[in-house]
Structure 1
């Protein structure tokens, strides 16, 4: 059993672009460089709570929080949520905790949010672990459903999305689908998905990712080892971390290896 300091839960009242937020966060103090975790669509801050069980992260400060419209966080206008909005939220969370420079870990939606954050504020990011965050149009296998399966009613779209996900032939898909309606407000889905598709198709995410000067690792499940760009980004200096017996969700399918890879990468980039 770990003897590390436990995490603390807190609520952060924020205003982002005129929208009132009440952000649910977990965090821990520490003397070593902090890590900021941005969860994926349909996930929550608890994806990263087990950092306190990992001896490799002893002494490291960390922050994880539920994005607006997700988990225990509250948002007064769900229609305003987009990747840009999520990035602005991240900036305010960083300001609240007084974090200037940090290691960055983002998964899926959170990986794209993290990429936009690192691109706009490159000098603040010590390293970036991108866990299947969008860097190319082919990464929109979840979010592009807002285009492929259009529905005027947001609740109906989300219910159908959950059922498609439940039966997807990938590790942890059914587990992920089982809690989606409890972790995401239906009113937030369309704005998030549309912005993810638009950025993936039109914002040269690959160029932004490869242009980052900080050390970068791209983590992916072995079920997604056929992603076309993996050899290219590796040739450009990105460290690849293939997680065995895993699809899109290493924190559910193989968390032990996920934590080992993150710890080893951050150790290798220590300044």
Structure 2
């Protein structure tokens, strides 16, 4: 398994697909408490014809390292990995917190990003009064219950309960310090007023039933982003798990469309 030591962390990553493809590499960044396996369906589809890179962010999955206090920190990790494997320019796909990382990279280093896809992600963390109260209450309970309360809300009604329980177990395996520190980093994330500066073609894919990051918040960002394409799917927040084939199809259409 390829690894990269950077900034006190060891990042585990996959680098698959043909190196001689005419298309830029496709880079996937997972969300909070997840890991690179979120992108299994997309990796299997796209790596047949183009280079595909995905990583476990520090402290997640098989990677080590302490939690980050700002979104800029994991963004630097992603850029360090791209430098390490010789990827100068890519199509960047991020889910949830991974989308925040993608936005940070696209705003600071637009030359590195040919296209960007934000999956269930927004430019500013804004909580309703109800969710704010829920989050405050959940932080007072044991760590596993805090994770469980958040993961259950991430899926649309009707998603298999046993699968949700499996994802709760996997997420709870992420160290508490990593989860809680990054939770603070996400709460502080705010680039909404800079959405108009995003200069790369951007696809925003969101779940209609997403209560973690409601679709209306994504639409607010899309209205300010000059090259945004919006797709709404019948799902919750966990699009890569709930609607993997539909998400792959949306990515395929966007990535193959002429700019």
Into which bin does the TM-score normalised by the smaller protein fall? 0.7 to 0.9
Contact 1:39 1:67 in 2 (8 A): yes
Are 2:51 and 1:65 aligned?
no
State the TM-score, normalized to the length of structure 1: 0.80
Contact 2:41 2:244 in 1 (8 A): no
Contact 1:27 1:63 in 2 (8 A): yes
Are 2:107 and 1:122 aligned?
no
- In structure 2, the CA distance between the partners of 1:232 and 1:100, relative to structure 1 (3 Å rule), is closer
Contact 2:26 2:50 in 1 (8 A): yes
The structure with the greater share of residues assigned to strand is: 1
Contact 1:10 1:25 in 2 (8 A): yes
2:219 to 200, 225, 230: 230
- CA–CA separation in structure 1 for the residues paired with 2:180 and 2:134: 7
Structure 1 equivalent of residue 92 of structure 2: 104
Are 2:78 and 1:90 aligned?
yes
Query: How many residues are matched?
Result: 245
CA offset at residue 239 of structure 1? 0.5
Gapped regions of structure 1 (runs ≥ 5): 1-8
Structure 2 equivalent of residue 207 of structure 1: 193
CA offset at residue 217 of structure 1? 0.9
2:2 to 4, 7, 10: 10
- CA–CA separation in structure 2 for the residues paired with 1:29 and 1:111: 23
State the TM-score, normalized to the length of structure 2: 0.83
Structure 1 equivalent of residue 121 of structure 2: 133
Q: CA offsets per residue over residues 93-135 of structure 1, 9 Å max, x none?
A: 0111100000000011111011101110011110000012231
- CA–CA separation in structure 1 for the residues paired with 2:128 and 2:95: 13
CA offset at residue 157 of structure 1? 5.1
Gapped regions of structure 2 (runs ≥ 5): none
Which structure has more relative contact order (CA 8 Å, sep 6+)? It is: 2
Contact 1:81 1:188 in 2 (8 A): no
Structure 1 equivalent of residue 230 of structure 2: 240
Hey, which bits of structure 1, 4+ residues long, moved more than 6 A?
143-147
2:145 to 131, 143, 160: 160
- CA–CA separation in structure 2 for the residues paired with 1:226 and 1:109: 15
Quote the RMSD (CA, aligned, Å). Answer: 2.8
Contact 2:9 2:63 in 1 (8 A): yes
- CA–CA separation in structure 1 for the residues paired with 2:171 and 2:73: 21
CA offset at residue 80 of structure 1? 4.5
